[in-house]
């Protein structure tokens, strides 16, 4: 497990950008944390580092926002408003994970048991100053990624 203190919003986006530069395709990242903890800010930093220049918003109502940049597919999921995990069947959830894509999932607990296992689980909590990010690898791929993070 890696723990990182993120004192500012810029620290959050910078760290996410570092992660984006080392993460391979077909990686699943779960982002956990309470409302306002910084999950979407983290995702924004990640996507900006890959070259997304358009507005990056949380797909709270659409559930998923697709991006294709620098030869990579990225799917950003926000399951906050999901009432029942079976709603994911209606958007063809399995099709997203069958692709060679990076999947970033906010509020993954709401999609259980239909989501595949994550490679990395990031838990963001409020700290006395800023945020605390705890990253846990849950696969061999996740372990390799965490070993590369400074």
* 74 touches 101 (CB < 8 A): yes
Taking the C-alpha atoms of residue 35 and residue 97, their distance in angstroms, rounded to an integer, is: 25
Per domain, the residue ranges of the chain are 2-143
Half-sphere exposure of residue 149, counting CA atoms within 13 Å on the CB side? 22
Residue pLDDT, tens place only, 55-78: 887 777 788 999 998 788 999 999
Picking from 81, 67, 86, the residue whose alpha carbon sits closest to that of residue 20 is 67
2-143: CATH architecture: 3-Layer(aba) Sandwich (3.40)
pLDDT at 98: 84
Residue pLDDT, tens place only, 16-44: 999 999 999 899 999 999 998 999 999 99
Could you give phi then psi for residue 132, rounded to 5 degrees?
-120, 130
């Amino acid at each position: 497990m890696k723990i990182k203190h993120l004192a500012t919003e810029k620290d959050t986006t910078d760290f996410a950008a570092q992660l984006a530069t080392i993460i391979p395709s077909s990686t699943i990242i779960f982002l956990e944390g309470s409302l306002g903890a910084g999950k979407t800010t983290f995702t924004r930093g990640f996507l900006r580092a890959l070259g997304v220049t358009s507005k990056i918003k949380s797909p709270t109502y659409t559930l998923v926002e697709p991006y294709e940049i620098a030869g990579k597919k990225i799917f950003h999921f926000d399951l906050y408003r999901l009432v029942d995990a079976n709603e994911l069947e209606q958007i063809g959830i399995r099709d997203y994970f069958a692709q060679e894509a990076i999947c970033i999932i906010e509020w993954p607990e709401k999609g259980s048991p239909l989501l595949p296992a994550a490679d990395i689980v990031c838990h963001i909590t409020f700290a006395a100053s800023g945020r605390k990010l705890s990253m846990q690898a849950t696969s061999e791929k996740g372990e390799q990624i965490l070993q590369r993070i400074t």
